[in-house]
């Protein structure tokens, strides 16, 4: 790891209850998106132009996965445009090239020069108001400056012992990042949380922002997390999930009793994450039965409204093929309404070599939903 990345890592390993400071102004920015103008780095501010730039860079790739929104409106939402939320494990670059061993994915498809355009294309295509990402190891040089130029504010929390640091030529630790459109929201509170199990700090983190909607004046508490991976760690995921729920309950109670303005007793929650847990795991049950009144938005795609998608990740590793549902968008069902859900691509669209691929940059599919505040 180069000197700049080493300095950056030493600053990032200090998890705290407030947003981490940005790196020094001379941080190297991605030259494909940021150019020098009057002595300072500038990113293209027009999302339409940036999307065109991504598409031009990807002109030789196969067709992108075509996905459409399934609209669900039942008429009890507050007036105004819905809030679009994206949840996505984007696959850390160091892990994709170094540790994850996607045996059916060509190395060229895993190159950062290609993947960064695919990732930004996905975000720009759906233009969410809130973007929750995991396995982010190019926050400071790519995602923060590029999305900031389009009006997004953000928070980032790295893993204390990121496996990315074990990969030669890495770009620093990976972690969770939360972006929000400043034209739609203003930040009220922010916290970076290191999740614990039985009071012992673990290597997993969460970012929590309380945002006030400029359209409705109502607040929403948004969390992004990435729980412990691999079979055999179900107990740890359950403990981490319980710890996150405890933090969120305390935070909502604190916000509800805030001295400024009228108290807001029912601040809605949006919890996005790669839980590394199938729906039969204990951590899923803890969220679905929580006194916070949470439901999983992607169950809305099923005919009975009770079943998760068949998969949110599909990959082939040396140990075999893995097709599982591990990613979720949880929401407060008493105060938020799901208006639309982005459908999953079919097995035929994904292709026999699965993910990632020349068409799609991650082994996890993005989840995108439109929400409204209930009256």
Q: What is the DSSP string of 97-157?
A: HHTS--TTS-GGGG-HHHHHHHHHHHHHHH--SEEEEEEES-IIIIIHHHHHTTTEEEEEE
pLDDT (average), residues 29-37:
68
- Separation between Cα atoms, residue 268 and residue 333, nearest integer Å: 8
- Beta partners for residue 40, in sequence order: 37
**pLDDT tens column, 197-207:** 999 999 999 99
Pick from 72, 89, 67, 63: nearest CA to 325 = 89
Q: What is the pLDDT of residue 227?
A: 98
Q: Is the pLDDT of residue 122 over 60?
A: yes
367's tokens? 């989840």
| Among 18, 17, 98, 114, CA closest to 60 | 114
Domains in the chain: boundaries: 83-373
pLDDT at residue 1 greater than cutoff 80? no
Question: Which pLDDT tens digit goes with each residue over 282-332?
Answer: 999 999 999 999 999 999 999 999 999 999 999 999 999 999 999 999 999
- Do residues 246 and 238 lie in contact, with contact meaning Cβ atoms separated by under 8 Å? no
DSSP assignment of 158-174 equals E-TT-GGGGSTT--S--
**In sequence order, what are the residues at sequence separation of 6 or more whose Cβ sits closer than 8 angstroms to the Cβ of residue 19?**
155, 156, 190, 192
Confidence bin at 141 (pLDDT 50/70/90): very high
Instruction: Kindly state the helix (H) or strand (E) to which residue 94 belongs, with its residue range.
Output: helix 93-98
What homologous superfamily does CATH list for 83-373? Endonuclease/exonuclease/phosphatase (3.60.10.10)
- On the question of pLDDT at 154 being above 90, the answer is yes
Between the two ends of the chain, the Cα-to-Cα distance in Å is: 52
Helices (H), 127-213: 144-148
b/e burial code for range 44-70 (CB count within 10 A of at least 16 → b): beebeebbebbeebbeebeebbebeee
């Amino acid at each position: 790891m180069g000197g700049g990345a080493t300095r950056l890592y030493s600053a990032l390993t200090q998890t705290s209850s407030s947003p981490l400071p940005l790196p020094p102004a001379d941080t190297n920015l991605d030259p494909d998106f940021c150019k020098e103008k009057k002595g300072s780095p500038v990113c293209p501010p027009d999302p339409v132009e940036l999307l065109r730039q991504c598409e031009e860079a990807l002109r030789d790739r196969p067709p992108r996965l075509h996905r459409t929104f399934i609209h669900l409106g039942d008429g009890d939402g507050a007036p105004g445009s819905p809030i679009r939320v994206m949840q996505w494990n984007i696959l850390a670059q160091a892990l994709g090239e170094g540790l994850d061993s996607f045996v059916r994915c060509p190395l060229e498809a895993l190159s950062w020069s290609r993947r960064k355009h695919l990732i930004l294309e996905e975000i720009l295509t759906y233009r969410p108001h809130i973007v929750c990402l995991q396995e982010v190891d190019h926050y400071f040089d790519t995602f923060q400056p590029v999305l900031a130029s389009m009006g997004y504010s953000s928070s980032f929390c790295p893993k204390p012992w990121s496996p990315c640091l074990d990969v030669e030529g890495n770009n620093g630790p990976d972690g969770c990042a939360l972006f929000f459109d400043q034209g739609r929201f203003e930040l009220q509170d922010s916290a970076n949380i290191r999740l614990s199990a039985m009071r012992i700090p673990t290597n997993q983190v969460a970012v929590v922002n309380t945002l006030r909607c400029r359209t409705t004046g109502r607040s929403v508490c948004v969390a992004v997390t990435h729980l412990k991976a691999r079979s055999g760690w179900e107990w740890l995921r359950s403990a981490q999930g319980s710890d996150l729920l405890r933090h969120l309950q305390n935070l909502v109670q604190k916000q509800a009793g805030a001295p400024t303005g009228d108290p807001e007793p029912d601040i809605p929650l949006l919890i996005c994450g790669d839980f590394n847990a199938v729906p039969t795991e204990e951590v899923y049950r803890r969220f679905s039965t929580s006194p916070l009144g949470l439901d999983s938005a992607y169950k809305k795609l099923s005919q009975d409204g009770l079943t998760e998608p068949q998969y949110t990740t599909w990959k082939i590793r040396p140990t075999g093929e893995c097709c599982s549902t591990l990613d979720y968008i949880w929401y407060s069902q008493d105060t938020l309404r799901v208006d639309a859900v982005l459908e999953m691509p079919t097995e035929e669209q994904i292709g026999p070599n699965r993910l990632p691929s020349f068409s799609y940059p991650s082994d996890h599919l993005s989840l995108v939903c439109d929400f409204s505040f209930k009256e």
